[in-house]
């Protein structure tokens, strides 16, 4: 796994002429916005945005055309829905191992508010590229304002870690994406006629386990530490940061609990239906 991660990081850090050109042009913009650690991580950010865009526009449609029944007759909206789930799954498989490696950083632990290092910056750059792609897709293929707001909020949060600010917690919150893998699996199984199957029930068990573990238990523990850190530096940062980050944390944790209860209820309904049928 470490070898594979190193290969991914090596690719994302490379600077062919187009990436080098954009890095040079965007560096003054990043510095003017106070994102002081972004310039050295712009290649990773640009590669992330570019590769997720290619997966969305080229790779995902190709995979789906070869493996999804009825792809040829699907409408544009349905095809895009498949494509964004493929991109989401690839992002989750990349970002979770990178985040796991980043949380071991002693530099971040020494300064949880303003500390930064190379591994956490790579995680933030990959996540920022993904969420900016996600925001643009939500605008271009508009379905609901909530998707646009979610993408824009996540983009802003992870971009602000380049000030640097709260990079310690950025990597930890991205571990929530572990549950996204099983959530996407659930969607794929639904769309391929496996709703209520044994495979979906097994996946549902893993979904509940990972959701409970990374979002409810670990997420709650991380949020407690997060508010302690925010309280310690509240006089060193704008009040808007305290309100936005503090309020956002409460909302996200509330949503995690809400969705967890919904998932438990849905799984119970499936099991009860299966018991009555037999």
pLDDT: which is higher, 82 or 262 = 82
Domain that holds residue 82: 2-277
145-178 pLDDT tens trace: 888 888 888 898 899 999 999 999 999 999 999 9
Report CA torsion sign: 48, 45, 101, 165: negative
Rounded Cα distance between 1 and 110, Å, is 27
91-149 pLDDT tens trace: 999 999 999 999 988 999 999 999 999 999 999 999 999 999 999 999 999 988 888 88
| pLDDT at residue 277, rounded to an integer | 47
In the chain, where does DSSP find H-type helix?
A: 2-13, 17-32, 42-54, 60-67, 76-102, 106-110, 118-140, 145-160, 167-173, 177-191, 198-210, 218-232, 239-277
Quick one: how far is CA 102 from the chain centroid? 15
Q: What is the largest distance, in Å, between two alpha-carbon atoms of the chain? A: 66
pLDDT tops 80 at residue 1? no
224-270 pLDDT tens trace: 999 999 999 999 999 988 888 888 888 888 888 998 998 888 777 76
Q: Beta-carbon neighbour count of residue 214 at 10 Å?
A: 22
Q: Are 185 and 204 in contact (CB under 8 A)?
A: no
Q: How many domains does the chain have?
A: 1
Per the rule left: phi > 0, alpha: psi between -120 and 50, beta: everything else, 34 is left
Long-range CB pairs of 236-244 (<8 Å, 24+ gap) are 236/113, 237/165, 241/165
**CA neighbours closer than 13 Å in the CB half-sphere of residue 214:** 21
pTM metric for this prediction: 0.91
């Amino acid at each position: 796994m470490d070898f594979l991660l190193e290969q991914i990081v090596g690719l994302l850090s490379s600077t062919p002429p187009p990436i080098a050109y954009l890095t040079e042009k965007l560096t003054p913009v990043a510095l003017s916005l106070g994102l002081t650690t972004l310039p050295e991580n712009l290649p990773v950010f640009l590669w992330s945005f570019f590769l997720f865009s290619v997966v969305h526009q080229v790779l995902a449609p190709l995979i789906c055309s070869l493996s999804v029944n009825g792809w040829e007759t699907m409408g544009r909206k349905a095809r895009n829905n498949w494509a964004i789930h493929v991109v989401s799954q690839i992002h989750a498989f990349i970002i979770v191992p990178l985040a796991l490696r980043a949380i071991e950083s002693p530099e971040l632990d020494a300064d949880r508010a303003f500390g930064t290092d190379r591994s956490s910056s790579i995680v933030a750059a990959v996540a920022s590229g993904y969420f900016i792609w996600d925001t643009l897709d939500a605008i271009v293929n508009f379905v609901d304002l909530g998707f646009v707001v979610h993408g824009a909020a996540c983009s802003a949060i992870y971009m602000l870690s380049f000030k640097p600010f709260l990079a310690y917690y950025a990597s930890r919150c991205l571990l929530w994406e572990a549950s996204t893998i099983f959530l996407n699996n659930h969607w794929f199984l639904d769309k391929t006629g496996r709703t209520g199957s044994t495979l979906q029930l097994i996946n549902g068990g893993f979904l509940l386990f990972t959701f409970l573990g990374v979002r409810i238990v670990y997420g709650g523990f991380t949020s407690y530490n997060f508010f302690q850190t925010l309280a310690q530096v509240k006089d060193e940062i704008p009040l808007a940061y305290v309100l936005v980050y503090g309020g956002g944390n409460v909302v996200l944790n509330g949503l995690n609990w809400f969705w967890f209860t919904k998932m438990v209820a849905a799984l119970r309904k499936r099991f009860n239906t299966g018991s009555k049928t037999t």
